Amino acid sequence: MIGFTAKERDSETGLDYFGFRYLSSAQGRWTSPDKPFADQSPVDPQSWNLYSYVRNNPLRSVDDNGLGTRPADDARVNQFLAKSADVSMNRAILASPNYSPWAFGRELGSSSMSSSLIGVAGEAVMLDRMNSVSLFGSVSLQPKLGSGVGGSPDMVLNFNQEGFGRADLANIAGPNGGLGHVPLDYGPAQAFFEVKTSSDYGVLLKGAEQVAATAGMIKPGQNAVSVLVVDQGAWGKLSTDQQNQILKTAGGGFVQLHKNLITDAIKRAAELRKKGREATGNEQ
């Protein structure tokens, strides 16, 4: 029986055999620990969990034989991304829990562009947009609030505007098509963003659930908000009932509209894909 990553699965125990030890794919962990100091790094806290599989990131890394983690991407892809002029795309790919240099390498040999790459490109677009307007703040990708669906928004904008007024989020969608803004309290503030480069109602509704979960993890008194970023054109194509349902599902979070988000993300992804093919010899 074939199990996780095409390893042999024991039908009685449900464990996958990697050669040196067994993996419980249901738990996402080894049944026996790593050897101490065999694959640990002082700068990587995940490496010190001796039972974790590929440091809890199976999309970016693999463990062929049960002895240690190795990158899952082509060296040429690494070199291309390191030298790419699109620094924001590189950052977004490396930070994403749903994409990786390995996935990008496979992308270069595909005949079509994946929605996952477009999603990462959307994060890169928003990273640049936020950096261009946030004179008194800093943007980070994949901040960690805790475990669960609300624990990993796509990015956080940290406002550090002591003495420069207060943070204010514009283009916030309201009921029945209205637009407004959300002012935060004076002093340091945070805005957590979930970016959805999709016009599909189901995808946007799922994003609203994630935003609501993140909003629920914001501590009382914390000067912070949770926001779903949506393409303005895609939002306009939804019915009023669909818009209101997304707003309702977002709970304590908000929906912010951005012009040309999907168009810019597709363009960004296509450019990186084209240059990646040229650099690695994957032209079709």
List pLDDT tens digits, range 156-166: 988 876 555 67
Task: Calculate ∠ Cα 39-152-175, nearest 5°.
Answer: 170
> Are the C-beta atoms of 47 and 63 separated by less than 8 Å?
no
| Residue appearing with tokens 């005949």 | 111
Average pLDDT over all residues of the chain: 81
Q: For residue 44, what pLDDT is reported?
A: 60
End-to-end CA distance of the chain: 36
Strand partners, 17: 8, 22
Q: For residue 148, what pLDDT is reported?
A: 42
> Between residues 157 and 187, which one has the greater pLDDT?
157
Model confidence over 10-58: pLDDT tens digits? 767 778 766 667 777 667 776 777 666 555 655 566 667 776 766 666 6
Q: For residue 149, what pLDDT is reported?
A: 40
Q: For residue 39, what pLDDT is reported?
A: 56
Q: For residue 147, what pLDDT is reported?
A: 44
Model confidence over 63-102: pLDDT tens digits? 655 555 555 456 788 788 888 899 999 889 877 777 778 7
Cβ burial 101-112 (10 Å sphere, 16+ → b, else e): bbbbbebbeeee
> Between residues 201 and 78, which one has the greater pLDDT?
201
Tokens of 258: 């951005």
| 3 has pLDDT over 50 | no
Q: For residue 198, what pLDDT is reported?
A: 95
> Are the C-beta atoms of 222 and 189 separated by less than 8 Å?
no
Of 149-163, 203-217, 233-247, the one with minimum mean pLDDT is 149-163
Model confidence over 104-130: pLDDT tens digits? 888 888 889 999 999 999 999 999 998
Element (H, E) at 24: strand 22-24
> Between residues 280 and 135, which one has the greater pLDDT?
280
1-5 average pLDDT score: 48
Q: For residue 150, what pLDDT is reported?
A: 43
Within 10 A of 132 (CB to CB), how many other CB atoms are there? Answer: 8
Chain-centre distance for alpha carbon 27: 22
Strand partners, 23: 16, 30
| 243 has pLDDT over 70 | yes
Torsion of CA 236, 240, 245, 250, to 10 degrees: 40
Alpha helices of the chain — where are they, by DSSP H? Answer: 75-83, 87-95, 101-108, 115-133, 201-217, 232-237, 240-249, 261-280
